[in-house]
Structure 1
Amino acid sequence: MENCAVVVIDMITAYDHADAELLLPSAAKAVPAIVRLIGKARERGVPVIYVNDNFGEWRSHHGEILDIALAGAHADLVEPLRPDDESLFVVKARHSIFYETPFAYLLNQLDVRHIILCGQVTEQCVLYSALDAHIRHVKVTVPQDAVAHIHDDLAEAALRMMERNLGTTICSVDSLFL
């Protein structure tokens, strides 16, 4: 895939929020697929961009966000996804990776026209980010095994909406040809 980037959404977290207990089982299942996806991207020189909530900490930066997540009770879900020195990192405050962030500018600078979204939460940040990409004419792929959800039914509905209404390609990590 030319002109693409892998976008890892909100996986650098301490899992200390209200819905964490509902999210954890799905996140644990998604992490190995995300690790494979990141590995494929790195092998082929495809940019890996982490876009992560700042959790209301307006003085935080990506290093602090990572340190807090690695010090949390679920560091085992964060460590395998640790950004490397080539990874890019954008901090966000709300659901969409585009909302009030420099993400669109970064895509333009990298000449990226296709994003592969992975991470969490399928029925929230992944869905809203796919919608915002669609309205910006950015092609979107979502490997369904590399996204985590809080509610099964809402995640299934979100994936169907992304595919049907936004033209998102829904696939598995292993079927992707980066």
Structure 2
Amino acid sequence: MSKTALIVIDMINTYDHEDAELLLPSAKAVVPVVAGLLRRARRDGVPVIYVNDNFGEWRSHHGELLGHALAGPHAGLVEPLKPDEASLFVLKARHSVFYETPLEYLLRQQGVEQLVLCGQVTEQCVLYSSLDAHIRHFGVVVPRDAVAHIHPDLADAALCMMERNMGARVCESRDLFGGQD
């Protein structure tokens, strides 16, 4: 069995950006699902890597981003997903978790061959990250109930593309890391 890592995309968020109002209902629905994935992955010793936008704050580090998000009006969406001491954190500037980040190097150093992608936004960052993982020969798993979207129709199309064009396994979160809590 290949070594798997759980990649949490852009969930450390203040939701004060364009399209946030459209994203919030879906984000609220996936937070408990992602929290369950985190609990089970940590229990099973699966590496957890947060890859998060830096929101143009080039002087920030992950602790500052987390503190800012926890001080904001949507802290309840961030609190259940906080990184623990064992979690790794990579900052990104654009959509893909790989674009101009050290993530590939980190994954190779850890012997990771398969990525479970969760977080937001399905039709943007998750889709582009899935493609970049595929072209780097990583296996990709996307639990459909653990990815938040802005536009449901585009999210459905993105999941279909990931499955058909990128060989991703699209499943439910209960199918991962020993099932539900």
TM-score category by the smaller chain? over 0.9
| Contact persistence 2:49–2:87 (CA under 8 A) | yes
Give the alignment of 1:1-178 within 5 angstroms: 2-177=2-177
Unaligned 5+ residue runs, structure 2?
none
C-alpha deviations, 1:87-115, integer Å up to 9, x for none? 00000000000000000000011100000
Give, in whole Å, the separation in 1 of the partners of 2:69 and 2:44: 28
String of CA shifts for 1:146-173, please: whole Å, max 9, x gaps. Answer: 0000000000000000000000000011
SS of residue in 1 equivalent to 2:13: coil
Task: Give, as a single letter, the amino acid of the residue that structure 1 aligns with 2:118.
Answer: C
4+ residue segments displaced more than 6 Å: none
1:2, distance to aligned residue in structure 2 (A): 3.5
Structure-1-length-normalised TM-score: 0.98
2:37 touches 2:177 (CA, 8 Å); kept in 1?
A: no
Q: What is the total number of aligned residue pairs between the two structures?
A: 178
Tell me, what secondary structure is at the counterpart of 1:23? Answer: helix
The CA deviation string for residues 108-151 of structure 1, in whole angstroms up to 9 with x for no partner, is 11100000000000000000000000000000000000000000
Instruction: Return 5+ residue gaps in structure 1 as ranges.
Output: none
Identity of aligned residues (%): 69
SS in 1 for 2:165: helix
In structure 1, what residue type is equivalent to 2:56?
G
